[in-house]
């Protein structure tokens, strides 16, 4: 057993006590996360009704054309202004606080930002969705569940992995509640957030997902997302069509994600103040909404209509798809708060319906009906965006309870996931994290190692000398210590070189040699290990990147010790039992 101050101690105490604590965590976090998710959805629905975004409300006021027209344009604009002010003035946290932020918190053991930032995100998301912005509700719901999990994870219970497990419980409950899909919620928490399947984590997240399903389906009796009647796949060659649909969805998903990243990168370069950027996106949403109200908000009704034959024409669908892709990228990139899962579902279901129409009406290919193609397209496009193919397949199964549709969706999802993973990355969240310096593409261990900086493990009591000091004096200090190297600094505190051996009475700076390897404040443990190959000596210097100022040094033994400790901690987490 390697003893190190960086190794997390294994769980102590009675196994029965741990089982009870973890089960209680699942119940408490699952209940809180589920109730919060339901409350969030109800709040958004109420705002849609009050602000004339909901299709039902718009129908009620269709005789008052000027009111509907004014609301369509002004509500997203004013909502954008409010969201911009809320996000820019009440939180200092930059970057996404949605699923990407939850993944970062769990994988790097950082914890979520302060509650204030989280509530600002949730409030901004509710306003964004309520005023009709083209964003999704599932990302904020995931973060809402994670917030409750983070609160429980801060308790001192003696369970080493409780912080990440409790966050996963909140996420599982949120997804389970959102889709009436407890198995999908459980798998999403492991597939996207935890990225491992230890017994210790599996049990409480199962409890949380089950609680979320009970709250949504039994206590509150919430209706399913949609109802589909399907008799089965009638022709064997249609599985080829499902695979082809998956490839088409993959290409559209890549365009969607690249456009979103492009707009997000371009937004800071605009001359608009931060708080005004969502207003510009809101104006675009309002103007397009005058042409087609189907693009407003989450588009839940549009999602349902897309599975019904005759709801849309062949010419309408490509315009709707292009509008939804563009507006979602614009809204999220310019500062509206919300997720990408709901827009992905809508884009996918419309693309699946369009694919079916071409095959049925244009090419005259006998087929099994619109519903199966719409659902295949929905999950084939959403799966690579969130990086959760198993979750996508299980959502279809639990929503439809139809085995044939699930198998068809599985074919489309697999082909889409393979193409996107190769050409873009595992998911939009992973690419966003990579842009922020957290690269999970090579594994969670390497991401953790790169996030751990050598500057945090500096060696104490180093030998340093001014460049003007005589060699004899420096050698005398070396003889009284265990160090064989002295770091020589100039008058400004910058590293001049390393002195190891020499003679004479001249200044030590003249005999200092350039160091073989130099780290800076951004160097991670993994990069340090690669740079240290072949190094022989006491320690390696760390300097400030911008000025060259000497910050300290780290020993080779310390770097290796941290590496072994982190690796051991991850193995323990992935194999921990109750």
Question: What integer is the mean pLDDT of 229-258?
Answer: 93
Question: What integer is the mean pLDDT of 327-344?
Answer: 93
Question: What integer is the mean pLDDT of 164-181?
Answer: 93
Separation CA 122–CA 36 (nearest Å): 11
pLDDT at residue 4, rounded to an integer:
40
pLDDT range class, residue 204, cuts 50, 70, 90: very high
pLDDT range class, residue 356, cuts 50, 70, 90: very high
pLDDT at residue 94, rounded to an integer:
59
Intra-chain end-to-end CA distance of the chain, in Å = 21
pLDDT at residue 503, rounded to an integer:
66
Is the pLDDT assigned to residue 390 strictly greater than 80?
A: yes
Is the pLDDT assigned to residue 11 strictly greater than 70?
A: no
Question: What integer is the mean pLDDT of 351-380?
Answer: 93
Separation CA 146–CA 160 (nearest Å): 18
Separation CA 113–CA 491 (nearest Å): 40
pLDDT at residue 8, rounded to an integer:
53
DSSP 8-state class, residue 486: E
Question: What integer is the mean pLDDT of 97-109?
Answer: 88
Which of these, 242, 543, 537, lies nearest to 393 by C-alpha position?
242
pLDDT at residue 157, rounded to an integer:
77
pLDDT at residue 478, rounded to an integer:
84
pLDDT at residue 3, rounded to an integer:
35
Torsional class of 157: left (φ above 0), alpha (ψ -120 to 50), beta (otherwise): alpha
pLDDT range class, residue 1, cuts 50, 70, 90: very low
* DSSP-derived secondary structure for 252-276: HHHHHHHHHHHHHHHGGGSSS-GGG
Torsion on CA atoms 565, 568, 570, 573, rounded to nearest 10 = -120
Is the pLDDT assigned to residue 112 strictly greater than 90?
A: no
Percent of the chain with pLDDT over 70: 96
Is the pLDDT assigned to residue 312 strictly greater than 50?
A: yes
Is the pLDDT assigned to residue 400 strictly greater than 60?
A: yes
The pLDDT mean for the chain works out to: 89
pLDDT range class, residue 420, cuts 50, 70, 90: very high
Separation CA 311–CA 80 (nearest Å): 31
Q: Which residues contact 201 (CB under 8 A, 6 or more apart)?
A: 161, 164, 165, 168, 190, 194, 576
Is the pLDDT assigned to residue 570 strictly greater than 60?
A: yes
pLDDT range class, residue 343, cuts 50, 70, 90: very high
Specify the 3-state DSSP secondary structure of 542: strand
Is the pLDDT assigned to residue 297 strictly greater than 60?
A: yes
Note the residue count of the chain: 578
The predicted-structure confidence for 219-234, as pLDDT tens digits, reads as follows: 888 877 767 777 788 8
Is the pLDDT assigned to residue 354 strictly greater than 90?
A: yes
The predicted-structure confidence for 260-272, as pLDDT tens digits, reads as follows: 999 999 988 888 8
pLDDT at residue 156, rounded to an integer:
80
Torsional class of 355: left (φ above 0), alpha (ψ -120 to 50), beta (otherwise): alpha
* DSSP-derived secondary structure for 409-448: HHHHHHHHHHHHHHHT-S-HHHHHHHHTT---TT-HHHHH
pLDDT at residue 281, rounded to an integer:
94
In this structure, what are the phi and psi dihedrals at residue 5, rounded to the nearest 5 degrees? -65, -10
pLDDT at residue 95, rounded to an integer:
55
Is the pLDDT assigned to residue 7 strictly greater than 60?
A: no
| 558 vs 298: which has the higher pLDDT | 558
Torsion on CA atoms 230, 232, 233, 235, rounded to nearest 10 = -120
pLDDT range class, residue 144, cuts 50, 70, 90: very high
Is the pLDDT assigned to residue 2 strictly greater than 70?
A: no
Query: Domains in the chain, ordered, with CATH?
Result: 15-225 (1.10.3080.10), 238-435 (1.10.3080.10), 449-567 (3.10.580.10)
| Low-confidence winner among 2-16, 302-316, 368-382 (lowest mean pLDDT) | 2-16
Q: Please, what's the b/e burial string for 44-83 (b: 16 or more CB within 10 A of its CB; e: otherwise)? A: bbebbeebbbbbebbeeeeeeeeebeebbbebbbbbbbbb
Question: What integer is the mean pLDDT of 18-43?
Answer: 93
Sign of CA dihedral 219, 224, 230, 233: negative
Is the pLDDT assigned to residue 92 strictly greater than 70?
A: no
Separation CA 304–CA 300 (nearest Å): 6
């Amino acid at each position: 057993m390697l003893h190190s101050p960086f190794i997390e101690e294994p769980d102590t105490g009675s196994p029965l006590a741990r089982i009870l604590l973890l089960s209680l965590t699942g119940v408490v976090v699952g209940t809180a996360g589920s109730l919060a998710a339901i409350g969030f959805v109800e709040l958004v629905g109420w705002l849609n009704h009050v602000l004339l975004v909901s299709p039902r409300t718009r129908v009620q006021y269709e005789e008052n054309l000027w009111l509907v027209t004014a609301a369509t344009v002004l509500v997203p604009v004013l909502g954008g202004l409010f969201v911009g002010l809320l996000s820019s003035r009440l939180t200092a946290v930059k970057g996404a606080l949605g699923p990407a932020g939850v993944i970062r918190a769990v994988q790097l053991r950082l914890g979520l930002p302060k509650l204030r930032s989280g509530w600002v995100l949730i409030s901004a998301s509710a306003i964004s969705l309520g005023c009709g912005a083209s964003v999704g509700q599932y990302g904020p719901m995931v973060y809402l569940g994670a917030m409750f999990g983070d609160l429980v994870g801060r308790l001192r219970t003696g369970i080493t992995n409780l912080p990440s497990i409790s966050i996963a419980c909140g996420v599982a409950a949120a997804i389970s509640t959102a889709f009436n899909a407890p198995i999908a919620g459980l798998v999403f928490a492991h597939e996207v957030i935890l990225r491992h399947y230890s017994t210790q984590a599996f049990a409480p997240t199962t409890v949380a997902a089950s609680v979320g399903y009970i709250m949504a389906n039994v206590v509150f009796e919430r209706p399913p997302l949609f109802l589909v009647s399907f008799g089965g796949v009638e022709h064997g060659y249609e599985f080829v069509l499902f695979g082809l649909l998956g490839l088409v969805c993959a290409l559209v998903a890549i365009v969607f994600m690249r456009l979103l990243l492009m707009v997000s990168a371009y937004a800071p370069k605009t001359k608009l103040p931060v708080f005004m950027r969502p207003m510009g996106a809101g104006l675009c949403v309002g103007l397009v909404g005058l042409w087609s109200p189907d693009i407003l908000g989450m588009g839940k009704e549009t999602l349902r209509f897309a599975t019904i034959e005759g709801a849309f024409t062949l010419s309408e669908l490509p315009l709707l798809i292009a509008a939804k892709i563009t507006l979602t990228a614009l809204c999220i990139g310019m500062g509206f708060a919300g997720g990408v899962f709901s827009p992905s579902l809508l884009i996918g279901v419309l693309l699946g319906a369009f694919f079916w129409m071409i095959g049925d009406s244009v090419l005259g290919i006998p087929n099994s009906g619109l519903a199966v193609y719409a659902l295949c397209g929905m999950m084939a496009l959403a799966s690579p965006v969130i990086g959760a193919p198993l979750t996508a397949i299980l959502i279809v199964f639990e929503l439809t309870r139809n085995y044939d549709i699930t198998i068809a969706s599985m074919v489309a999802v697999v082909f889409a996931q393979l193409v996107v993973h190769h050409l873009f990355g595992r998911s939009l969240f992973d690419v966003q994290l990579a842009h922020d310096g957290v690269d999970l593409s090579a594994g969670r261990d390497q991401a953790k190692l790169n996030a751990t900086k050598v500057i945090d493990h500096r060696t104490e009591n180093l030998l340093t000398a001014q460049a003007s000091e005589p060699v004899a004096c420096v050698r005398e200090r070396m003889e009284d210590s265990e160090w064989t190297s002295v770091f020589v600094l100039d008058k400004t505190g910058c590293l001049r070189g390393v002195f190891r051996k020499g003679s004479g009475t001249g200044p030590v700076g003249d005999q200092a040699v350039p160091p073989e390897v130099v780290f800076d404040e951004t160097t991670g443990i993994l990069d340090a290990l690669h740079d240290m190959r072949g190094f022989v000596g006491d320690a390696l210097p760390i300097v400030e990147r911008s000025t060259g100022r000497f910050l300290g040094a780290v020993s080779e033994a310390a770097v290796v010790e941290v590496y072994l400790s982190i690796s051991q901690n991850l193995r323990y987490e992935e194999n921990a039992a109750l």
